[in-house]
Amino acid sequence: MTNSKTIWISHRGLSKYHDENSRSSFKLACKAGFSWLETDLHSSNDDHIVLCHDPELSRVSSSSGKIDDMSRQDLEKVQLNKGEKLLFLDEFMLEFNKQNWVFDIKPASAKHTMNILKTILLNNKALLKKIIFLFWNEQQQRLFLNDFPQAVCFPRKEECYRAGIAALLGLSILANIKKNKIYSVTPKLLGLPVLNKRIVKIFHKHSAKVIAYLPETGGEEQQCLNAGVDYILSNKKPVS
82-111 pLDDT, tens digit per residue, is: 999 999 999 999 999 999 999 999 999 999
Question: Nearest to residue 68, comparing CAs of 58, 57, 80, 79?
Answer: 57
E-strand stretches of 160-235? 182-185, 188-189, 192-193, 209-213, 231-234
- Exposure of 212 in the CB half-sphere (CA atoms within 13 A): 33
Question: What residue segments make up the domains of the chain, in order of their start?
Answer: 9-153, 157-234
CB neighbour list of residue 204: distance below 8 Å, 6 or more residues apart: 210
Rounded distance between C-alpha atoms, residue 129 and residue 89, angstroms: 17
Residue 119 to residues 56, 108, 141, 147, 213, Cα–Cα distance (Å): 25, 20, 16, 11, 31
pLDDT category at 4 given cuts 50, 70, 90 is low
- pLDDT score for 68: 97
Helices 197-205, 157-168: axis angle to 10 degrees equals 110
Share of the chain above pLDDT 90, in %: 92
pLDDT category at 240 given cuts 50, 70, 90 is confident
144-200 pLDDT, tens digit per residue, is: 999 999 999 999 999 999 999 999 998 888 899 999 999 999 999 878 888 999 999
- pLDDT score for 8: 98
Whether 3 has a pLDDT exceeding 70, the answer reads no
Strand partners, 131: 101
Mean pLDDT computed over 59-80: 97
- pLDDT score for 2: 46
Q: Which fold has domain 9-153?
A: TIM Barrel (3.20.20)
What average pLDDT is seen over the chain? 96
Spatial contact of 230 and 199, defined as CB atoms under 8 Å apart: no
